[in-house]
Amino acid sequence: MANGAVTIRGLTKAFGRNTVLRGVDLDLPAGRVTVLMGANGAGKSTLVKVLCGVHGADAGEVLLAGAPFAPASPAQALRAGIVTVHQNINDGVVPDLDVASNLLLDSLAEGGAVFLNTRRMRAEARQIAAAVGLEIDVGRPVAGLSLADRQLVAIARAMAQKPKLLILDEPTSSLSMAEAERLFTLIERLRDDGVAILYISHRMSDIRRLADRIVSMRDGQIAGLFEDQPLDYAGAVRAMLGQEIAEMDIAIPAPGAPVLELRGLQLRPEARPFDLTLHENEVVAIAGLVGSGKTALAGVLFGLARPVAGEVMLDGRPHRPANPGAAVAAGVFMAAKDRRSNAVIPDFDIQRNLSLPFTRRHSGTFALMRGRSERATADATIATMGVVCQGPRDSILTLSGGNQQKVVVGRWLAEASRLLILDEPFQGVDIRARRDIGRRIRESAGNRATLVLCTELDEALEVADRILVMSEHTIIGEHRNENIDLAELTAEVAGTGPAMEKTA
């Protein structure tokens, strides 16, 4: 292991009868970015948790710089130089603390003297933030930050540990293009400094930008290693899934009657007003970077915010919901992004998570839950969404990230709506789960209008009849999803297209 930071041999881990890792053999060389791809449930998260001290292995060994490595806790792994930025942002930050405390949290846990002096503490925190290009008031509570800023705080905290192995799990899922580019620059700097980097992602844009080598994982084993240049991306996907992924063929149906009509809608005082009509039987994707206005538009439609100006009509009648409950009553449903914070209730089982927004519809006398109704809905949703589980009474936390996302989306597909808004419905899921979710969205779209908010263009192209582009809180482009000029579409999303010049 002359140039290897980590060597893994025969790693095995089981939970009861479920064997999750099956003799994993993997090298993570120093000074290289290894991208790990795997379908949800392939064992990626368990492998990471063994490396960072959350779980102990049942068999096999891990060597760090040639020495046996079996951390008994995350703190021990951190002291050894294994630093992990988890996909769930709140695993890497403490919302109740300010930014400075979060950035120096690991020193605080070890009794660092810097915490005896608030001024010195904030000065050191500013240096850490500046090193990753994070421009923020370090005295602000993390709870008040956007998801993207929380992600950057978690990454900055990790970078401050001078890692030997840096593990990043879907780190760009909440970042804008500029923020992601800043992260990529940092990763390249660490790679040049000899840090081994394990980068877990399904985003081809990330993989093409960063990967020195790709490892595919399937059913708890390494299914493929790709390090010959040029990298075989298609081969890596085949190894990950065990089969070819067919190209999506979108058959665009004839649109039905207008459902949602926006006239002169203005989301911010400085933003240009725009018009938009969504019809029955069509799926419309809005693509745009983080902060482009997609979530602001969804908030107006779902009763979370008021527009600055303009008119919203639903089935020909004014639509001004005072809150999300009023929006749901009017037939406007929304699956929010960031499932762990906004959608999944960890203490509930799958069945209760599915029925949560519609408890009254399953209630009988004295508001008691009608078990048969709730169970029938859960069984049907599990079947149609392809949720992999033992049954509807399983804890939601026993599911992989992709299956949790299927529950979140399936919850809103289980009941009839007039407008369904899906905010980043493919966040953190693998290609197969993405296709399953997208297929179900389209199959069920006949009696409603569907609005899908996406950051990744691949996702929009796989699910939509029309693709709109938002920037600066207004719509700057519209494309029918056939023979699309991808260069023009990409330029619009990046804010460099001709449409932006017209609005400047």
The CATH number assigned to the domain with range 4-241 reads 3.40.50.300
Written as one letter, the residue type at 192 is D
Give residue-wise pLDDT tens across range 407-457: 888 888 888 999 999 998 887 677 778 888 898 999 999 999 999 998 777
Q: What is the per-residue DSSP string for 370-422?
A: -HHHHHHHHHHHHHHHT--SS-TTSBGGGS-HHHHHHHHHHHHHSS--SEEEE
Token pair, residue 94, equals: 């403490």
pLDDT interval class at 497 (50, 70, 90): low
Mean pLDDT of 310-334: 95
| 3-state secondary structure (DSSP) of residue 469 | strand
Give backbone dihedrals phi and psi of 424, rounded to 5 degrees, phi first. Answer: 55, 60
**CB-based contacts of 370, cutoff 8 Å, min separation 6:** 362, 363, 364
8 Å CB contact between 33 and 215: no
Place of tokens 């899908």: 452
Among the CATH numbers 3.40.50.300, 3.40.190.10, 3.40.980.10, 3.65.10.10, which is that of 258-503?
3.40.50.300
> CA–CA separation, 313 vs 319, rounded Å?
5
pLDDT value at 195 more than 50: yes
pLDDT value at 404 more than 90: no
Written as one letter, the residue type at 24 is V
| Burial of 117: CB neighbours in 10 Å, binned 0-12, 13-18, 19+ | exposed
pLDDT value at 1 more than 60: no
Q: Do domains 4-241 and 258-503 have the same CATH topology?
A: yes
| 3-state secondary structure (DSSP) of residue 38 | strand
What is the H or E stretch that residue 319 is in?
A: none
Q: Please choose, from the candidates 373, 378, 432, the residue with its C-alpha nearest in 3D space to the C-alpha of residue 400.
A: 432
pLDDT value at 365 more than 70: no
pLDDT value at 501 more than 50: no
DSSP state of 34: E
Give residue-wise pLDDT tens across range 81-123: 898 887 666 666 788 788 888 888 776 666 555 445 778 888 8
Residue 286, beta-bridge partner list? 453, 468
Give residue-wise pLDDT tens across range 31-90: 999 999 887 778 888 999 999 999 999 999 999 988 999 999 988 888 888 988 876 666
> CA–CA separation, 365 vs 147, rounded Å?
42
Give residue-wise pLDDT tens across range 410-420: 888 888 999 99
Mean pLDDT of 487-492: 80
Handedness of CA 248, 408, 378, 18 (dihedral sign): positive
Predicted pLDDT of residue 370: 59
Predicted pLDDT of residue 500: 47
Q: What is the per-residue DSSP string for 69-128?
A: ---SSHHHHHHHTEEEE-SSGGGT--TTSBHHHHHTHHHHHTT-GGGG-HHHHHHHHHHH
8 Å CB contact between 354 and 396: no
Q: What is the biggest distance separating any 2 CA atoms in the chain, rounded to whole angstroms?
A: 71
Give residue-wise pLDDT tens across range 223-257: 999 999 898 888 888 888 776 555 566 889 998 99
What does pLDDT average to over the chain? Answer: 84
> CA–CA separation, 259 vs 38, rounded Å?
39
Token pair, residue 184, equals: 């990529």
Give residue-wise pLDDT tens across range 152-187: 788 788 777 778 899 988 887 667 677 778 788 888
pLDDT > 90: percent of the chain:
35
pTM over 0.75: no
The domain locations on the chain are 4-241, 258-503
Residue 217, beta-bridge partner list? 38, 222
pLDDT interval class at 458 (50, 70, 90): confident
> CA–CA separation, 246 vs 248, rounded Å?
6
The residue with greater pLDDT, 74 or 313, is 313
8 Å CB contact between 80 and 64: yes
Predicted pLDDT of residue 176: 67
* Strand 258-266 relative to strand 221-226, pairing: unpaired
